[in-house]
Amino acid sequence: MTIPKTMKAAILVELGKPLVVDQISMPQNLEAGQVLVKIYFSGICGSQIGEIKGAKGEDKFLPHLLGHEASGIVQEIGPGVKHVKEGDAVVLHWRKGRGIDSAPPSYKWKGKQLNAGWVTTFNEYAVVSENRITPIPKNSNFEIAALFGCAVTTGFGVVENNAKVRIGESVVVFGAGGVGLNIIQAASLVSAYPIIAVDLYDNKLGLAKKMGATHIINSNHKDPKEEIAKIINNKEIDVFIDNTGLPAVIEMGYRVTKNTGRVVLVGVPSKGSNINIYSLPLHFGKSLSGSHGGESIPHLDIPRYHDLYLAGRIKLNELITHHFSLDQINDAILNMSSGNIAGRCLIKMS
Ligand SMILES: [Zn+2]
């Protein structure tokens, strides 16, 4: 197919402001390793909420496109692409998988350069680097497939690769958003116990129970440290996973974790948010580490997890609670940041 001249996309123009949904110009040739994908569904991840708010500080790439988990169909492949072909159903992800690491695409908006990374998904089409897409079976459920771009692979990867949770270990998951719920699900798959979910919102905690949390704590109403102590009879926990990036939560998690336990940081801290901990236990086996997308390897992990879904061993339908159109994307973002949405909301592109 020929590349469309223009498409609709959501653009981050100014930090802290609603995205601008507008027509943008597409590049008319694919470079080595680039793939044109028609996007079907895109998820919105907590990290895009942080990006829009400017959590990491100044953004020198403005204006730019965003989004990093989606599903779609390959329309055309650029020179050198070997791992996908026209017509393939694919998951779009931000972690690097198999294939060429291409140059990022060059889009234009109002005649000026519009920045975009190797994958963006808040747009009707995307020119994506070959290593940011993974093929899935043609008859796949495209709504579910979008979740494999980040929410599922990050959540499962945190449990498998970062926390390396063992059978019967106690796990606290602080923050039960899209990634947190999948961390809970993966902890449940490996028979962790107890699995304690903490969040500010009852709707998210309700979903956390469905995904396998054995105990839930609403930290708006109760002191999580006291509640955790009650649940584990004043012992210490094996694994604490933070999805909030908040120093007070991380420090508390570090304190309630065993001297041989693991604290894993998943949530992105705001620039300047520093933690204060007593580091001596780190010399004797306690660990504190940050996760980079659960260290997932998309082309190996996505087929594995997708098969588990097809076998009915993991719950993903329950995670998709809301749908929006691209024109409504700012409503979706507002609802997500205010905690109204438990689970994932999807943007339906076509
Ligand atoms: Zn993400």
Cα(191) to centroid(ligand 1), Å: 25
The answer to whether residues 48 and 119 touch, using CB atoms and an 8 Å cutoff, is no
How much is the average pLDDT of 29-51?
A: 96
pLDDT band at 126 (very low <50, low <70, confident <90, very high): very high
Cα(97) to centroid(ligand 1), Å: 15
Cα(242) to centroid(ligand 1), Å: 15
Structure tokens at 97: 């998988």
pLDDT band at 89 (very low <50, low <70, confident <90, very high): very high
Cα(237) to centroid(ligand 1), Å: 27
Please tell me the predicted confidence (pLDDT) of residue 42: 98
How much is the average pLDDT of 325-342?
A: 92
Cα(153) to centroid(ligand 1), Å: 9
H, E, C per residue of the chain? CCCCCEEEEEEECCCCCCCEEEEEECCCCCCCCEEEEEEEEEECCHHHHHHHHCCCCCCCCCCECCCCCEEEEEEEECCCCCCCCCCCEEEECCCCCCCCCCCCCCEEECCEEEECCCCCCCECEEEEEHHHEEEECCCCCHHHHHHCCCHHHHHHHHHHHHCCCCCCCCEEEECCCHHHHHHHHHHHHCCCCCEEEEECCHHHHHHHHHHCCCEEEECCCCCHHHHHHHHCCCCCEEEEEECCCCHHHHHHHHHHEEEEEEEEECCCCCCCCCCCCCCHHHHHCCEEEECCHHHCCHHHHHHHHHHHHHCCCCCCHHHEEEEEEHHHHHHHHHHHHCCCCCCEEEEECC
Q: What are 196-232's pLDDT values in tens digits?
A: 999 999 999 999 999 999 999 999 999 999 999 999 9
- Report the 10 Å Cβ neighbour count for 121: 32
Please tell me the predicted confidence (pLDDT) of residue 115: 97
Cα(234) to centroid(ligand 1), Å: 34
Say what percent of the chain tops pLDDT 70: 100
Please tell me the predicted confidence (pLDDT) of residue 1: 73
The model carries a pTM of 0.95
Class of residue 264 by CB neighbours under 10 A (exposed 0-12, middle 13-18, buried 19+): buried
Cα(69) to centroid(ligand 1), Å: 7
> Nearest-CA neighbor of 176 among 155, 149, 160?
155
Q: Does the structure show a pLDDT above 80 at 350?
A: no
How much is the average pLDDT of 97-123?
A: 97
Please tell me the predicted confidence (pLDDT) of residue 342: 86
Cα(99) to centroid(ligand 1), Å: 21
